[in-house]
Amino acid sequence: PFSPEEKRSGSWRLIGPASELSKKRCRLMYSSLGYDSDVCLFYVKGEFFAMDARCSHSGGPLCEGDIEEADGVLQVFCPWHDYDFDLRTGTSGTSLQQQVYEVKLEDGNVYVKHASDLSLQPFPVNQKT
Ligand code: FES
């Protein structure tokens, strides 16, 4: 229902305290739009990054990917077919593009700019019955 432009131009969504979110390398943030719109929140080298959680190749879980740094560029490698995505820009050596989102810190809290509500807990509509 949302184009990439619309997703990116959403509102700031409060995710939670940075002190808590920085304890894990990646958190899955559920989107109120459903599974395909879920977002990964990475914490790498003191910085937060947000990108679509489902790999733009075939939907692999990027939260479970390995992260490597080469020439100062942080990349996540999809666990399914090892495609790389730049955490900052979402670009890939494969020419695929992963949607990334702006992140900001304010008063110790992490915010992600997204078209839909984001939550660390699944929305009822996302839960499998
Ligand atoms: S699903 Fe991610 S590389 Fe294929």
Q: Cα(62) to centroid of ligand 1, in Å?
A: 9
Q: Which two tokens stand for residue 49?
A: 């990054």
Residue 50 lies in a domain: yes
Burial letters 70-81, b for 16+ CB under 10 A, else e: eeeebbbbbeee
Residues 3-16: tens digit of each pLDDT: 777 776 789 999 99
Residue 123 lies in a domain: no
Q: Cα(113) to centroid of ligand 1, in Å?
A: 25
Residue 107 lies in a domain: yes
Residue 17 lies in a domain: yes
CATH number of the CATH domain containing 52: 2.102.10.10
- Per the structure, how many domains does the chain have? 1
Q: How far apart are CA 102 and CA 125, in angstroms?
A: 25
Say what the pTM is: 0.91
Q: Which run of H or of E encompasses 26?
A: strand 26-31
Residues 82-125: tens digit of each pLDDT: 999 999 999 999 999 999 999 999 999 999 999 999 999 998 76
How many separate helices (H) and strands (E) can be counted in the chain?
A: 2, 11
Residue 128 lies in a domain: no
The ligand 1 atom at the shortest distance from the C-alpha of residue 59 is: 1
**CA-wise closest residue to 27 among 64, 60, 81, 56:** 64
Residue 98: domain span: 4-114
| Ligand 1 pocket, Cβ-based, cut-off 6 angstroms | 55, 57-60, 78, 80-81, 83
Residue 127 lies in a domain: no
